[in-house]
């Protein structure tokens, strides 16, 4: 009787068959041509050549002739719009644009209480959305002013149900140490930035879940970092102020420590490219994918980006230093650190659709 019920339930599950499609399996560098892929109940149950595998009776058939089918992308540094002032329609549009551009999982790095119910609705399939992993609201120098407040926040964020905590700049070393201790006790991970008072070697020792933007590494390549902490002015935009003092022979050492600690890297390389790279803001405004966002949102992003470039963060040599930073990102990977892709949408209007695997430039307050 149980087997009969199981068989009936399987038959009732929705089935979709992609036929005559080219499959990019991502197990190695290859393409499987002219395939049929059968999906039932949200799982791939059959894959094979179209001459051998046929669409089951009653399945929804998608003709994939001339098209490619690949695993969904994971956006490891997403910004789902936060704050009570953001309309539900904007959040839902952002989530939908992720899916429509092939992003089936996002890690929200700018957490907000409103994101928790969206996470649950997405998991139940009630809205067009990727699977959501959401951070807590920001842990930063303004919100975490002392150890007691930090301990209370860590416990609260774990109890409420955030997937992990987001670390931003400005946290003092003693407060950070309190966060790490309690996070380990209650079982919640933390990820994001490396505060200057903490430094990259302590961050690796503390076992961040991930370090985003390779934050702290450029400062760590400066031999002077072993005996002191840099000011914000000295460090510059994600360490670009220390590029000319960087000792590349230290890359292997830091990469080995990151790997030994199990700390993942989310480079967000497009952050550098869009903010201090070659792209002109007016040129980016004309990209065809911009049509998916409001003019007001694009105007706000353009104003913020131009503000960054004219406000002292874009020095005469920042193009060269940002290129050096990108090369260091590549060298860290070659040296053995563990990396995963991450993109950086702007805060004033998140743009999941773009020419670079759902990546967009950041706002003036990178996250």
| CATH code of residue 79 | 3.20.20
Please give the tally of structural domains in the chain: 2
Query: What are the residues whose beta carbons fall under 8 Å from the beta carbon of 273, sequence distance 6 or more?
Result: 279, 322, 326
Same domain, 65 and 84: no
Rounded (10°) angle between helices 147-160 and 173-186: 30
* Domain contains 8: no
Domain that holds residue 57: 14-69
Residue range 108-138, pLDDT digits in tens: 999 999 999 999 999 999 999 999 999 999 9
Same domain, 168 and 237: yes
Rounded CA-CA distance 20/67 in Å is 9
* Domain contains 92: yes
Query: Of 168, 169, 300, 323, which is closest to residue 240 (Cα–Cα)?
Result: 323
Indicate the pLDDT class of residue 306, thresholds 50, 70 and 90. Answer: confident
- Which of 69, 91, 106 is the last residue in one of the domains? 69
Give SS3 for 106: strand
- Which of 35, 52, 69 is the last residue in one of the domains? 69
Task: Tell me the pLDDT of the chain averaged across its residues.
Answer: 85
Rounded CA-CA distance 90/110 in Å is 15
Same domain, 45 and 148: no
Rounded CA-CA distance 86/349 in Å is 10
Same domain, 312 and 193: yes
Residue range 244-278, pLDDT digits in tens: 899 999 999 999 999 999 999 999 887 777 877 77
The CATH number given to whatever domain includes residue 35 is 2.30.40.10
pLDDT for the residue numbered 363: 30
Rounded CA-CA distance 195/262 in Å is 19
Instruction: Record the pTM.
Output: 0.83
Q: Is the pLDDT of residue 5 over 60?
A: no
Same domain, 159 and 237: yes
Same domain, 31 and 130: no
Q: What is the DSSP letter of 164?
A: E
Q: Is the pLDDT of residue 10 over 90?
A: no
Same domain, 51 and 162: no
Residue range 82-95, pLDDT digits in tens: 999 999 999 999 99
Give the whole-number percent of the chain exceeding pLDDT 90: 65
* Domain contains 232: yes
- Which of 50, 69, 88 is the last residue in one of the domains? 69
63 sits in which H/E element: strand 60-63
Same domain, 154 and 268: yes
Backbone angles phi, psi at 31, to 5 degrees: -130, 130
* Domain contains 61: yes
Same domain, 81 and 55: no
* Domain contains 349: no
* Domain contains 125: yes
Same domain, 49 and 189: no
Same domain, 47 and 83: no
* Domain contains 167: yes
* Domain contains 365: no
Indicate the pLDDT class of residue 360, thresholds 50, 70 and 90. Answer: very low
Same domain, 34 and 133: no
Indicate the pLDDT class of residue 349, thresholds 50, 70 and 90. Answer: very low
């Amino acid at each position: 009787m149980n087997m009969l019920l199981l068989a009936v339930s399987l038959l009732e599950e929705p089935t979709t068959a992609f036929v005559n499609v080219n499959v990019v399996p991502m197990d190695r560098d290859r393409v499987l041509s002219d395939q049929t892929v059968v999906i039932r109940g949200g799982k791939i149950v059959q894959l094979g050549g179209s001459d051998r595998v046929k669409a089951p009776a009653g399945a929804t058939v998608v003709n994939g002739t001339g098209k490619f089918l690949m695993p969904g992308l994971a956006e490891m540094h997403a910004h789902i719009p936060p704050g009570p002032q953001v309309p539900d329609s904007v959040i839902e549009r952002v989530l939908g644009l992720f899916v429509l551009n092939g992003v089936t999982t996002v890690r929200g790095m700018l957490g907000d209480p409103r994101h928790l119910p969206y996470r649950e609705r997405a998991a139940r399939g009630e809205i067009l959305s990727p699977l959501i992993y959401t951070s807590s609201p920001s842990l930063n120098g303004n919100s975490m002013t002392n150890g007691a407040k930090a301990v209370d926040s860590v416990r609260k964020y774990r109890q409420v149900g955030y997937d992990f905590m987001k670390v931003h700049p400005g946290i003092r070393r003693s407060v950070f140490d309190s966060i790490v201790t309690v996070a380990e006790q209650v079982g919640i991970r933390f990820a994001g930035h490396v505060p200057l008072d903490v430094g990259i070697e302590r961050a690796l020792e503390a076992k961040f879940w991930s370090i985003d933007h390779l934050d702290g590494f450029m400062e760590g390549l400066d031999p002077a970092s072993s005996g002191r902490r840099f000011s914000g002015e000295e460090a510059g935009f994600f360490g670009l102020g220390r590029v000319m003092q960087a000792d590349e022979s230290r890359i292997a050492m830091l990469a080995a420590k990151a790997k030994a600690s199990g700390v993942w890297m989310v480079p967000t390389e497009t952050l550098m490219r869009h903010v201090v790279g070659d792209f002109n803001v007016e040129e980016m405004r004309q990209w065809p994918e911009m049509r998916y966002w409001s003019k007001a949102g694009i105007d706000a992003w353009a104003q913020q980006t131009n503000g960054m470039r004219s406000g002292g963060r874009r020095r005469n040599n920042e193009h060269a230093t940002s290129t050096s930073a990108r090369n260091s990102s590549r060298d860290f990977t070659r040296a053995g650190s563990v990396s995963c892709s991450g993109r950086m949408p702007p805060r004033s209007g998140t743009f999941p659709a773009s020419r670079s695997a759902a990546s967009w430039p950041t706002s003036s307050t990178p996250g």
